[in-house]
Chains A and B, each alone.
Chain A
Amino acid sequence: MASIWEYANPVKFLRTSEKVLPVLWVLAGACLVIGLIWGFFFTPDDYRQGSTVKIIYLHVPAALMAINAWLMMLVASLIWLVRRHHVSALAAKAAAPVGVTMTLIALVTGAIWGQPMWGTWWAWDPRLTSFLILFLFYLGYMALWAAIEDPDSAADLTSVLCLVGSVFAVLSRYAVLFWNQGLHQGASLSLDKEENVADVFYLPLLVCIAGFVLLFLALVLYRTGTEIRLRRTQALIRREAARA
């Protein structure tokens, strides 16, 4: 069996991702279309929240991916810091715009959902606040990559920022448990069946989550390929300039 470290080779990574990507795009599209149509058209209203419950099919998967994208960036950053594999640093860089979009979707849908349910678009609730800070960390992470010219220095500094920001990624996940206050409800998905949403909402929600996970994987693989090509182009241009 091939070692995972073989994919640290950019050529091997590009070759493998080219094979996997078409399948991932199709599966992601299929899960998202099926899950969202199922949730939007074929699920009943909630007895308390009315039709706003349909927002769950976007809000929960986006929030899950917002946190997990940062955790994936954390793993990739640690690999860069320990083993100095360029592909892992580029994968972390490629995941950030995907993560920030997921965080933005979670914040926007949360605000839209919160207005009729809580009577306000925003509250300085522990989970909402930690999500806003996570969003700002994503922006800071991308700005740092853009601001530093030397790619290895940029990878080093953004990796350290990623380690620091991980505190907020974890806080975003567990804020409701740490501080038993605020407007935001507890987990919609849990190993404890009592805490879960009803099955009629749960199954389409699982399909939507699968769609978001697959879309995240497809986008990160594709964007990492883009970053590898950009890095190679810059290296060739530098070599040309040195020869001239």
Chain B
Amino acid sequence: MIPDLGKYAVTVLSAYGASIVLLIGLVLISLRAGRKARRALEAVETRREIKDEA
């Protein structure tokens, strides 16, 4: 399945490995921070609504 990369196999695979790890890491960190921010805002807004009703 993997093409014959010859004597440069380690070079090519390490470049792909490092880049894919960095890209996936960036996406995951962004999604996690986004979810956390959304939850924090919802919590504050809910607290505010409860106080306003009371």
B30 touches A222 (CB 8 A): yes
- Stretch from A77-85, A172-180, A185-193, A223-231 contacting the other chain: A223-231
Per the bound structure, the CA–CA distance linking A98 and B5 in Å amounts to: 30
Q: Which of A45, A50, A62, A230 contacts B37 (CB 8 A)?
A: A230
With beta carbons under 8 angstroms apart, the residue of B7, B8, B19, B34 that contacts A58 is B19
Q: Are B3 and A41 in contact (CB under 8 A)?
A: yes
Contact B44 A223 (CB under 8 A): no
- A101–B26 touching, CB < 8 Å: yes
A237–B48 Cα distance when bound, in Å, is 10
Chain A nearest CB from B26 CB (Å) reads 5
Main secondary structure of the interface of A (DSSP, over half): helix
Q: Is B34 a contact partner of A55 (Cβ separation < 8 A)?
A: no
- Residue-wise, chain B 11-39 has the 8 Å CB interface mask toward A (1 for contact) of 11011101100110111011101100110
- Please report whether the interface of chain B is mostly helix, strand, loop or mixed according to DSSP: helix
Query: Interface residues of B, CB < 8 Å — how many?
Result: 32
Q: A52-B11, A112-B14, A233-B44 are in contact. Are A226 and B33 (CB under 8 A)?
A: yes
| Interface pick from A103-111, A127-135, A154-162 | A103-111
Number of inter-chain CB pairs below 8 Å: 97
Q: List, in ascending order, chain B residues with CB within 8 A of A36's CB.
A: 16
Is B41 close to A, CB under 8 A? Answer: yes
Partner of B38, one of A45, A116, A229: A229
Chain B residues with Cβ below 8 Å from A30 are none
Q: Is the CB of A51 within 8 A of B41?
A: no
C-alpha spacing A58/B8, complex, angstroms? 16
Residues of A within 8 A of B47 (CB): 240
Interface size on A, residues (CB 8 A): 37
Residues in B whose Cβ lies below 8 Å from that of A236: 41, 44-45, 48
User: Is A58 a contact of B15 with CB atoms below 8 Å?
Assistant: yes
- Complex contacts, B15 vs chain A, CB 8 Å: 55, 58-59, 108-109, 112-113
Complex Cα gap A105–B19 (Å): 6
Interface residues of A (CB under 8 A from B): 36, 40-41, 45, 50-52, 54-55, 58-59, 62, 97-98, 101, 104-105, 108-109, 112-113, 115-116, 215, 219, 222-223, 225-227, 229-230, 232-233, 236-237, 240
A-B contact pairs, 28 of them (CB 8 A): A41-B3, A51-B4, A51-B5, A52-B12, A97-B30, A101-B22, A101-B25, A101-B26, A105-B19, A108-B19, A112-B11, A115-B11, A215-B23, A215-B27, A219-B27, A223-B30, A223-B33, A223-B34, A226-B30, A229-B37, A229-B40, A230-B41, A232-B41, A233-B37, A233-B40, A233-B41, A233-B44, A236-B41
- On B, residues with C-beta under 8 Å from A are 3-9, 11-12, 14-16, 18-19, 22-23, 25-27, 29-31, 33-34, 37-38, 40-41, 44-45, 47-48
